[in-house]
Amino acid sequence: MSSKPNSSTQNKNVRVAVINTLLSIQQGQSLSGLLDPLLNSLKGEDKGFAHALLLTTLRHWHATARLLDSLADNPIDEIEVRTTIQLGITQLLYLNVADHAAIHETVEAVKHIDYARASGLVNAVLRKVAKNPNKFRKKANKNHSLPNWLAQQLKSDWREQYDELTQSLRQSAPMFLRVNSLQTDSQSYINQLSEEEIAAKLVSLETAIKTGSTDETVAIKQQAIELIDSVPVSHLPEFEEGIASVQDAHAQLATPIIDALLQKAISANPTQNVRLLDACAAPGGKLAHWLELLGNQEKQETGLFHVKQSDGQSIPISKVELTAIDNEAPRITRIFENLERLQLPAPIVNSKLHLEIECVDATTWQAKEASDESAGFDAILLDAPCTATGVIRRHPDITLLRNEEDVQHTAQLQERILDNLWPQLKAGGYLLYATCSILKQENVEQIQAFLERHKDAVAVPFNNEKTNWGIEQEVGRQCLPVYKLSDALEPTAVEDDKLGSLDIKEQQGIAQAPAGGDGFYYAVIRKQS
Ligand SMILES: C[S@@+](CC[C@H](N)C(=O)[O-])C[C@H]1O[C@@H](n2cnc3c(N)ncnc32)[C@H](O)[C@@H]1O
């Protein structure tokens, strides 16, 4: 087993910093707001270890908590002590830090956070685990690492997929890129990556949507890039110039779907002024994708500005108004930053495209002219706020931060947003509802209830034979981050030099999941004339 080369003081500081971050998460702060300050507070060579330690501890948090309860003679209530021991167990079972370093440095860390009186207890529990790591790893891996309420909900929603799903949620997720189609195409960028020795592959996502009563369908294809090993974005060629964005493969489906439906709606109901809404738009991932698509289509003289009527004549669109709304001002700032990096909107569509970004509440907001029936939106993309249970692999703090009531509150918020936006969609227009949740209450059940409430709403089905992602639902499709896992692996030693890099691989008794996107739900709804 290899040991880490860092000096004792550095190791102690890293562990103390990670313990403090874990304590802040347990007090309700999110990992995304804490990670950068943590890494910035550490020296270069410690950043990779801190990142791996923090993420791996969070991924196995609930499992190590249960293990700790079974190991301690008396219940341990102090969260500082529990957190320190769980950090120690994670090093012994999942990170392959040498036993003596994991135990000694963790005991030192608990002294450093002013719990010196617990050092004997920390030492005793960690020694017990170090004596028989295989047994304890097996025990910790046997079950999920989720709060019980969430595991029960997943079992009820996804009985067939439950075991693989809960194991998958303890793993790291692959890194996917979306290329900016105004600058390059996916294959060319893969070649460019390969010149920088960044291995990547193409992931082709396909679907077709039945838009009419006949067999009429619109076909949609999106090519995402999957990196074989994650890298910091600063390593990606021309990233700052906006050639690519980091976006999950399944998240990349939203914009091509709504864009294709929009063209369908316009050709059925020709209009010169097209109005689009990206509701809940921040930080602008899907908005940027839409602007890239529109710009690229204009360059190629296809798409929205060149939609054909049934007689083959082009529809002379004079203005496209794209409104993006979100209710969180700091996240709106990120939309502007992202668009600036991507150099969007492209000058090529600027003369016809009018982009408005507003900080408003989608549960009450009314678009200008919405009172006029004919002036509604032609298409609405609603990437709704959700529990984000589909992205637990990327944000494992979600399993500590969410509770059962949050699901209820989030579902109510989604319902209010849907009900407020629906009257603002034109007859014949389409709404694409998306979430990165894997809970049916926020997804298929939400949309079924919506269809019950709105008799002018019709679910538009995906063509199953032509769709290579997700699982068919009564309405819409659900992607789960579930992949066949191989049998439990023996832990492999972490090379010393790899501990310094940010893309450290988790070493554990569970196989790394093969490539696969996040949990996502999509439903298409059309408003009847
Ligand atoms: C899933 S995220 C959207 C991600 C975004 N579409 C993208 O692709 O980058 C959901 C967004 O909903 C916003 N949100 C939550 N409640 C809202 C409300 N009542 N009105 C408007 N936006 C809301 C959040 O601020 C968050 O940015």
What residue type is assigned to position 357 of the chain? I
Indicate which residue's Cα is closest to atom 2 of ligand 1.
385
Query: In the numeric block, which tokens belong to residue 484?
Result: 């066949």
User: Measured from the CA of 284, which atom of ligand 1 is nearest?
Assistant: 9
- Give percent of the chain above pLDDT 90: 79
Q: Which atom of ligand 1 is nearest to the CA of 381?
A: 6
The finding on whether 328 has its CB within 6 A of some atom of ligand 1 is: yes
Test site for ligand 1: of 30, 327, 389, 415, most ligand atoms within 8 A of the Cβ = 327
Greater pLDDT, 366 or 307: 366
pTM (predicted TM-score): 0.92
436 labelled catalytic = yes
Q: What is the dihedral of CA 247, 248, 249, 250, to 10 degrees?
A: -120
Per-residue pLDDT tens over the stretch 399-439? 999 999 999 999 999 999 999 999 999 999 999 999 999 99
Report the distance separating Cα 483 and Cα 140, nearest Å: 20
In this predicted model, what pLDDT tens digit does every residue of 289-303 receive, in sequence order? Answer: 999 999 999 888 888
Residue 355: name the closest of 347, 331, 156 by CA: 347
Q: Strand 273-279 relative to strand 319-326: parallel, antiparallel, unpaired? A: parallel
In the predicted model, is pLDDT for residue 491 greater than 80? Answer: no
The mean pLDDT of the chain is: 90
pLDDT at 80 (0 to 100) = 98
Closest CA to 381 of 265, 518, 246, 469: 265
Annotated binding site: 280-286, 326, 361, 383
Q: Kindly give the number of the ligand 1 atom that is closest to the alpha carbon of 362.
A: 20
Task: Please tell me the distance between residue 251's alpha carbon and the centre of ligand 1 in angstroms.
Answer: 14
Phi, psi values for residue 266, rounded to 5° = -70, -40
Q: What is the percent of the chain where pLDDT is above 70?
A: 90
Q: What is the pLDDT of residues 109-133, one digit of tens each?
A: 999 999 999 999 999 999 999 999 9
User: From CA 332, how far away is CA 383, in angstroms rounded?
Assistant: 15
- pLDDT at position 347, please? 83
DSSP string covering 271-287: -SEEEEEEES-TT-HHH
- pLDDT category at 374 given cuts 50, 70, 90 is low
Ligand 1 mean position to 435 CA, how many Å?
A: 10
Q: How confident is the model at residue 306 (pLDDT cuts 50, 70, 90)?
A: confident
Q: Please, which residues bridge with residue 432 across strands?
A: 381, 524
**Domains (ranges, CATH) in the chain?**
8-143 (1.10.940.10), 249-527 (3.40.50.150)
Distance (angstroms) between ligand 1 centre and the Cα of 384 equals 6
Q: What is the reported pLDDT for 45?
A: 84
Distance, in Å, from the CA atom of 289 to the CA atom of 82, rounded to the nearest integer, reads 44
Q: How confident is the model at residue 384 (pLDDT cuts 50, 70, 90)?
A: very high
Residues comprising the chain, all counted = 529
283 lines ligand 1 (CB under 6 A): yes
| Residue with CA at minimum distance from ligand 1 atom 17 | 327
Element of type H or E holding 322: strand 319-326
Nearest in space to 343 (alpha carbons), one of 292, 395, 380, 405: 292
| Ligand 1 contact, 338 CB (< 6 A) | no
What is the whole-number distance in angstroms between the Cα of residue 283 and the centre of ligand 1? 8
Is 13 near ligand 1, meaning CB less than 6 Å away? Answer: no
pLDDT mean over 236-246: 98
**How far is the centre of ligand 1, averaged over its atoms, from the C-alpha of 375 (Å)?**
24
Tell whether the model's pLDDT for residue 165 goes beyond 90.
yes
Nearest CA to ligand 1 atom 25: 328
Binding site for S-adenosyl-L-methionine: what residues are annotated?
Answer: 280-286, 326, 361, 383
For ligand 1, atom 13, which residue shows the shortest CA distance?
280
**Cα-to-centroid distance, 279 and ligand 1 (Å):** 7
Q: Which of these is catalytic: 359, 386, 436, 479?
A: 436
Helices (H), 249-328: 254-268, 285-299
Question: Which is more confidently placed, 494 or 8?
Answer: 8
Residue of minimum CA distance from atom 6 in ligand 1: 281
**ipTM of the assembly?**
0.99
pLDDT band at 480 (very low <50, low <70, confident <90, very high): very high
157 C-beta closer than 6 A to ligand 1: no
Over residues 321-341, the mean pLDDT reads 98
Q: In this structure, which amino acid lies at residue 253?
A: L
